[in-house]
Amino acid sequence: MHGAMIRRSGVTIEDVAAAVGVSRQTVSRVLNGSPNVKPAVRERIHAAIEALGYVPNLSARRMGGGRSYVVLAINDRVRTLENWQARRGNDYVDQMLFGGMTACEAQGWHLVFELVDTDPAHARRGLANALASLRPDGVILTPPHCDNADLVALLAEHGIPCARIGHREGTSTIDVFMDEVAAAGAATRHLIALGHSRIAFIAGAANYGSSALRIAGYRAALAEAGISDALVGDGDFHFETAERVIAALLAQGDPPTAVIADNDEMAFAALHIASARGLRVPEDLAVVSFEDTPGVRFAVPPLTAIRQPVAEMIASACSSLIALVEGGGAPARHEIPFELICRASTGQDQR
Amino acid sequence: MHGAMIRRSGVTIEDVAAAVGVSRQTVSRVLNGSPNVKPAVRERIHAAIEALGYVPNLSARRMGGGRSYVVLAINDRVRTLENWQARRGNDYVDQMLFGGMTACEAQGWHLVFELVDTDPAHARRGLANALASLRPDGVILTPPHCDNADLVALLAEHGIPCARIGHREGTSTIDVFMDEVAAAGAATRHLIALGHSRIAFIAGAANYGSSALRIAGYRAALAEAGISDALVGDGDFHFETAERVIAALLAQGDPPTAVIADNDEMAFAALHIASARGLRVPEDLAVVSFEDTPGVRFAVPPLTAIRQPVAEMIASACSSLIALVEGGGAPARHEIPFELICRASTGQDQR
DNA sequence: CTCAAAATTGTGATCGTTCACAAACGAGCC
DNA sequence: GGCTCGTTTGTGAACGATCACAATTTTGAG
């Protein structure tokens, strides 16, 4: 068949250029928003792109030396599904995917996830491999990678902008975080306003930055109300440990009438103990949680909780990275507002 | 500095070739597992790759006309986080990410997620755009896209292998599914074995393939035990509706003593009603759920559930796609075994 | 009307890899 | 030893975009 060419793939920039009667570079300029294109030509190129259904090939763009239009989100790798789900609440990733993809897509970018070992020796190598193979334009580090200075340094060496979730000390990075101190304070003050003075805080892990900040906020709110007794229990984010810790607190001479748990799973442990001992919630024991996974609405009773705005945080990280790459400017810090959602476990009626 | 060149990026295949003293093509052969390389040379190349920390650039590979080493997972796009989380249980995506990434990574592949509108007119276009920009080597369609024949056709036109999750009719596609009929049968027989004969099934949605199959399995198990009364309630996967439906069933003259819910959220509704009416679970009302999100272990009491093996399904889909691309062969169907996990809501002790 | 400056458009080189094909090498057979 | 055939290695072209720079057109001031 004379003149027929075998096409390895779909519509290319040359096809658009040929259809309009301009060079590929002019089409490229339109794609990349260069100002120096005659309005009439720009119009015709847009029409041709639409008509032909042209979409730029991401790999080719990357090869051309331009941007990759890819944001890489780094999560910690775990071995089993159980560990993965227990990691940081099982809807953390769900929210990441939603928030991140929605934000990236709105700008014509893509979000790619990669798992990297937390172990420092493997972490650097894992990130380096991901960078080499994907060549992202920006990287998001989630906990606990966000606290790994080595990874931040590696990204700086490569000149790749970095956003950190749940970290607030950065100067060279985009830090996106919520005010953990204020959130714990709000939860504590909510209970104090309801008349409680024996309020326990079940911490997740001493070495987690967020736990320490929350304990500080809790203590500050108590102090502010003139309550001298802080009742901090050492949990590990898991049900069984929390059960023991809460049981021990309740066995004291002057037991708590309210519990703040560092995540939902531990709040469920509080409900479970209350149920087992015939304590009414919230009358005998009020419960507040940090996290607000969808399931807490269906607990018996539904849990009052500080909502962790994960989707918003990731969306903000993506938007900021994109803005940084496309518009220049300097990395900034973004505090995302938290929310205290009052439900039946502290006496409110709503679900 | 004489001879110094400005490097736009990291280690390339040429660097490895130069270090070993061979041509790039020989290194490429080693990377792609070609058999025709002298063992001694292969050895030295592997050593150099290791020493230099070389990782192939994915974009360049794709440009070279080879594979992209990318599996694209298509999910339905929704507008709000609430809808996203309510979609199919909030840990569906969590499991997808874990199962899919783990499987892909093991083969040196990558998993990329993309959101595509469910609306038929936009769906085709959304997928076409994703294909054009990412050029994946394989695509996974999750519900409800898995049932969209138009998308399957589009992939066939492009010659891109396709795996469908939760679909079992495919001939040209890799279909990965669980035996919904048998699972519902197992749940039903479990309750019958515990002495129940008034067993209700709260369906999720009539037009969901899986709901219909589960109802069939439920009815078959009843018939098998000589129980003539099937008590099917029409739910919509949501708490509030399920609450009404279950209340109506309990108001009957001869109310059910057991409820099977089509997802966890509706099972929580059953627990909630029981708690509100002072019915003991499992003594007065036994509850079985389909889904087994992590939270059901912390319900009061913990829920017996059919575990939906989402992570395994996605992992299987990825592995099969990769095998198909790398090894040839024909698409096959994969039935993933389900599991009935017995907990306190049907009388068992474990969590 | 002329000419310089600004705006617009086009051309070759380039990114890092694989493909297609050609060349060199080595073993086995008569 | 010479020849063929299979194994191993190398070379130029290609993929589809962007970059750097050059060429052309348009604009506007004198």
* C1' of C12 to CA of A27 (Å): 17
List the nucleotides on chain D closer than 7 A to a protein CB. Answer: 7-20
Distance CA A46, CA B76 (A): 28
* Distance linking the first and last C-alpha atoms of chain B: 68
A86 and chain B: CB distance < 8 Å anywhere? yes
Distance CA A320, CA B197 (A): 59
With CB atoms and an 8 Å threshold, state whether A81 touches B60: no
| Residue-averaged pLDDT of chain A | 90
* pLDDT above 70: residue A350: no
Tokens representing residue A54 in the block: 């042209």
* C1' of C11 to CA of A62 (Å): 21
Query: Taking the CB of residue A186, how many other CB atoms lie within 10 A of it?
Result: 17
pLDDT per residue as tens digits for the range A18-55: 999 999 999 999 999 998 999 999 999 999 999 999 99
Distance CA B265, CA B311 (A): 20
For residue A29, what pLDDT is reported? 96
- Alpha-carbon gap: A78 to the closest alpha carbon of chain B (Å): 9
Q: What's the average model confidence in pLDDT over B57-75?
A: 92
* pLDDT above 60: residue B246: yes
Using omega within 30 degrees of 0 as the cis cutoff, is the peptide bond preceding A161 cis?
A: no
Distance CA B55, CA A128 (A): 9
Closest partner residue to B134 among A58, A131, A297, by Cβ? A58
* Strand D contacted by A274 CB (< 7 A): no
Using omega within 30 degrees of 0 as the cis cutoff, is the peptide bond preceding B144 cis?
A: yes
* pLDDT above 50: residue A261: yes
Instruction: Please work out, in degrees rounded to the nearest 5, the angle formed at the alpha carbon of residue B72 by the alpha carbons of B87 and B108.
Output: 125
Model confidence at A341, pLDDT cuts 50, 70, 90, reads very high
* C1' of C18 to CA of B28 (Å): 8
Of residues B39, B58, B42, the one with CA closest to residue B50: B42
By three-state DSSP, how is residue B260 classified?
strand
Distance CA B298, CA B289 (A): 14
Tokens representing residue A152 in the block: 């931040």
For residue A295, what pLDDT is reported? 84
Identify from A68, A70, A300 which residue to disrupt to test chain B contact, counting B C-beta atoms within 10 A and taking the largest count: A300
B124 and chain A: CB distance < 8 Å anywhere? no
For residue A206, what pLDDT is reported? 67
Backbone angles phi, psi at B29, to 5 degrees: -60, -40
CB A296 within 8 A of CB A302: yes
Query: Taking the CB of residue A337, how many other CB atoms lie within 10 A of it?
Result: 11
For residue B89, what pLDDT is reported? 59
Task: Identify the residue whose tokens are 């400017």.
Answer: A329
* pLDDT above 50: residue A8: no
* C1' of C30 to CA of B38 (Å): 29
A113 and chain B: CB distance < 8 Å anywhere? yes
- Alpha-carbon gap: A63 to the closest alpha carbon of chain B (Å): 6
Backbone angles phi, psi at B331, to 5 degrees: -65, 140
B239 and chain A: CB distance < 8 Å anywhere? yes
* Strand D contacted by B129 CB (< 7 A): no
More confident residue, B82 or B310: B310
A106 and chain B: CB distance < 8 Å anywhere? no
* pLDDT above 80: residue A236: yes
Segment among A217-226, A331-340, B204-213 with least mean pLDDT: B204-213
Model confidence at A4, pLDDT cuts 50, 70, 90, reads very low
With CB atoms and an 8 Å threshold, state whether A81 touches B268: no
Tokens representing residue A333 in the block: 């810090």
CB B343 within 8 A of CB B288: no
Q: Which residue is nearest to nucleotide C15 (CA to C1')?
A: A63
Q: What's the average model confidence in pLDDT over B114-131?
A: 92
Tokens representing residue A18 in the block: 């040929």
pLDDT per residue as tens digits for the range A185-211: 999 999 999 999 999 999 987 667 788
Chain A, nearest residue to B115 by Cα: A101
* pLDDT above 70: residue B88: no
* pLDDT above 70: residue B349: no
Q: What's the average model confidence in pLDDT over B60-81?
A: 90
In chain A, the domains with their CATH numbers are: 13-56 (1.10.260.40), 70-178+310-338 (3.40.50.2300), 180-308+341-346 (3.40.50.2300)
With CB atoms and an 8 Å threshold, state whether A93 touches B93: yes
Model confidence at B3, pLDDT cuts 50, 70, 90, reads very low
Chain B window 34-73: residues with CB closer than 7 Å to nucleic chain D are 35-38, 41, 63-65
Percentage of residues in chain A with pLDDT exceeding 70? 95
Q: DSSP for B98-166, please give it.
A: HHHHHHHHHTT-EEEEEEE-SSHHHHHHHHHHHHHHH--SEEEE-TTGGG-HHHHHHHHHHT--EEEET
Tokens representing residue A129 in the block: 């491999």
Name residue A117's beta-bridge partners.
none
* C1' of D10 to CA of B21 (Å): 12
pLDDT per residue as tens digits for the range B147-198: 899 999 999 999 999 999 988 887 889 999 999 999 999 999 999 999 999 9
Tokens representing residue A204 in the block: 């997740």
pLDDT per residue as tens digits for the range B184-206: 999 999 999 999 999 999 998 76
* pLDDT above 60: residue A339: yes
Tokens representing residue B135 in the block: 């050029």
Distance of CA A38 to the CA centre of its chain: 42
Q: What's the average model confidence in pLDDT over B135-142?
A: 95
H/E run at residue A221: helix A209-224
pLDDT per residue as tens digits for the range A86-119: 665 567 888 999 999 999 999 999 999 999 998 8
H/E run at residue A114: strand A110-116
pLDDT per residue as tens digits for the range A58-97: 999 999 977 899 999 999 888 888 877 766 556 788 899 9
